[in-house]
Amino acid sequence: MNSRWDDRTATPLLSSPLALRVYTSRLLGQEPTLVLHGGGNTSVKANVTTLLGDTEEILYVKGSGWDLEGIEADGFAPVRLSVAKRLATLPRLSDTDMVASLRAAMLNPNAPTPSVEALLHAIIPLRYVDHTHADAVVAISNTPDGMRRLKNLYGPRVLVVPYVMPGFLLAKTVYDMTRRIDWTALEGLILMHHGVFTFGKTAKASYTRMIRLVSRAETYLKRQGAFRVLAQSHDTKHRGPDDAQLIQLARLRQAVSRAAGAAMVACWDQSPEAERFSALPHVASIATRGPLTPDHVIRTKRIPVILGARVEQSVGRYASAYREYFQRHTHRGLTPLDPAPRWAVWRRAGSITFGRTLKDARIAADIARQTMRAIQWAETLGGWRPLPARDIFEVEYWELEQAKLKRTGPPPVLQGKVAVVTGAASGIGRACAELLCAQGAVVAALDIHPKIQRLAAASGILGLRCDVTQRAQVERAVRAIVRHFGGVDILVSNAGIFPPSETIAEMQPATWRRSLAANLHSHQLVLQTCIPYLTLGIEPAVVIIASKNVPAPGPGASAYSVAKAGATQLARVAALELAPVKIRVNIIHPDQVFDTGIWTPQVLAQRAQRYHVSVEEYKIRNLLRTTITSRDVAAMACAMVGPVFAKTTGAQVPVDGGNDRVI
């Protein structure tokens, strides 16, 4: 591992201990093999003059909720060092009381809550302290004679600490072990099954020691041939997933969501590395012994599910085993977490992670990737031997984690759902994509216009260019969506065109054909392609965007009205056909939505002129005399796919400000 320290960047910061602290914390955060997603923490001790003119020694320690990679000065909690040090000397202290006492000892009450490892940072009598969960070191500690290996590797200048629960107990253990130790003779601490602490008088010294200690573990693993396993070429030829695999993935996501009692997003890791791991003959044994380090349990649960041919059964067995694990280890009236897996090993097909949000699923994927690597290193060192289940349980059901459960409010209404919106680059489709996203769904936005990719990148939506009148393109897009998110729960079929006004007598064949292709056939094509996945969806729902022209047609718009009437009839038949598999299909008839691409200023002016009114007057030609926006239609679409319409299918609802011809 190379040091990322750069004198040119660091020199201007030398006068500010906290600025330097931010700098090297970020250097650690840039290395995924050192810390992942909130893992690790750092601190600096500095004298501060308060508003009252007193000088106090303050421990600036990483606040919870911050990642080292992007931490700023505000991410450090300023705690009175004397209080933190005294807390570590108490004979016992609950972690809840510890956090409360640390918060009460902060110089700034608005700062984030100090890391649970704050006391350990406090008792180390050097100015800078760095803590990581370095994979290479932790992997060595997770082997049958890990402690002996680490002691031999590091010698007397590194103290190897047997595993204890992080928090007060860990600080207390180190405090007791080091009472008579000369800290200046030490370079670091190795915490078995957990991580590494280094420290120094300067930020550079502490950081450099971290890189040096971790590099030594990497060199050791290399010499033992551990890295060779991973470098072996991947023999299975990589192909795109076939439809049977995608159906299996959707089935798995459905089973996991049901076990969790909530919709989950799935991330499929098909990297050669994940595929190779999943194909190992003894994968069912090595993958199910435990996590790399206990704090990963919050993200991946203790172990993954190993999938058999019937994925529902695999998930069912996993859930019952999880309930037994809870019963075996529970105490003091703990609240059980849902029994669904967060990680699945799919034989010869890679690894899949799950999360209530895409972010959670991706964090689990990163952790799973590092874990698969570490397991294989440890296997070359005599076997993967992580902490026993009881210790993992204690971290999973830690009082601080349980307290977090009670604090969380209701999640966004569509959280974990996968939504597909067509015609999403502008107008109603774009509003639907944005609102679905705001309500917690992950959204795949399809459009023929290339700007869909730009739009999507800005809003965290998966943008796919797709002509929804072309079967091959629709099939490709739907495959990509399932591959990305694990299934489809929601379809808002919106894409359409507004053909030029032509009477039946003057109708151009091309106008007629184009309107039917874009406004009718496309709905059939997208719906048909999504049905196999919607059938395996979570509370699946379809919305077809039709038009006021269906109940109240106007002259000159036969190409449009006929196609939209066909789409409406398609949706009605779909509601009948899909009710047995619990897919709801509802229809919106919007009208006078003038903030869409169809309504250019010229078209608006023409229309207003035809009715002998001003453009402004034309815009509110409805019973409620109100303007209707894309967002109003999107709000109706979101209601239709959510719990409000849970008992409704086959409904046609206007969003038109009220129209006496429709009523």
Do the Cβ atoms of 549 and 519 come closer than 8 Å?
Answer: no
Half-sphere exposure of 645 (CA within 13 A, CB side): 26
The CB-of-586 to Zn ion minimum distance in angstroms stands at 50
Instruction: State the residue number with the nearest CB to Zn ion.
Output: 195
Site for Zn ion in 184-243 (CB under 5 A): 195
Minimum CB distance to Zn ion smaller for 133 or for 251:
133
CA distance 208 to 597: 58
CA distance 315 to 303: 12
Minimum CB distance to Zn ion smaller for 196 or for 541:
196
**Rounded (to 5) percent helix, strand, coil in the chain:** 50, 15, 35
Residue with tokens 């859930």: 319
Clarify whether 560 is annotated catalytic. Answer: yes
Minimum CB distance to Zn ion smaller for 195 or for 341:
195
CA distance 85 to 125: 10
- Count of residues engaged in binding Zn ion, rule: CB under 5 A: 1
The CB-of-375 to Zn ion minimum distance in angstroms stands at 20
Minimum CB distance to Zn ion smaller for 195 or for 423:
195
CA distance 73 to 32: 21
The CB-of-136 to Zn ion minimum distance in angstroms stands at 15
Site for Zn ion in 66-85 (CB under 5 A): none
Minimum CB distance to Zn ion smaller for 113 or for 569:
113
Do the Cβ atoms of 515 and 497 come closer than 8 Å?
Answer: yes
Amino acid at 495: A
Minimum CB distance to Zn ion smaller for 66 or for 325:
66
3-state secondary structure (DSSP) of residue 483? helix
User: Which tokens hold the place of 544?
Assistant: 């077809």
3-state secondary structure (DSSP) of residue 409? coil
Set 60, 318, 560, 618: catalytic member: 560
Minimum CB distance to Zn ion smaller for 133 or for 430:
133
User: Which tokens hold the place of 549?
Assistant: 């022209």
Q: Kindly report the number of other CB atoms within 10 A of residue 624's CB atom.
A: 11
The CB-of-342 to Zn ion minimum distance in angstroms stands at 20
The CB-of-81 to Zn ion minimum distance in angstroms stands at 20
The CB-of-18 to Zn ion minimum distance in angstroms stands at 21
Residues in the chain: 663
Residue with tokens 């990680």: 343
CA distance 524 to 374: 48
| Phi and psi, residue 550, nearest 5° | -70, -55
The CB-of-382 to Zn ion minimum distance in angstroms stands at 25
Minimum CB distance to Zn ion smaller for 195 or for 657:
195
> At CA 509, angle to CA 503 and CA 513, rounded to 5?
105
Distances (CA, A) of 627 to 98, 110, 330, 585, 604: 56, 44, 58, 27, 14
The CB-of-39 to Zn ion minimum distance in angstroms stands at 7
The CB-of-578 to Zn ion minimum distance in angstroms stands at 50
3-state secondary structure (DSSP) of residue 589? strand
Minimum CB distance to Zn ion smaller for 195 or for 416:
195
User: Which tokens hold the place of 296?
Assistant: 């990963």
Do the Cβ atoms of 354 and 266 come closer than 8 Å?
Answer: yes
User: Which tokens hold the place of 425?
Assistant: 């680059």
3-state secondary structure (DSSP) of residue 56? strand
Q: Spell out the residues 6+ positions from residue 291 whose beta carbon is closer than 8 angstroms to its own.
A: 297, 300, 302, 303, 367, 371, 386, 392
Do the Cβ atoms of 253 and 344 come closer than 8 Å?
Answer: no
| Phi and psi, residue 352, nearest 5° | -130, 135
CA distance 390 to 401: 16
The CB-of-525 to Zn ion minimum distance in angstroms stands at 52
Minimum CB distance to Zn ion smaller for 35 or for 428:
35
Could you list the active site residues? 560
Binding site for Zn ion (CB under 5 A): 195
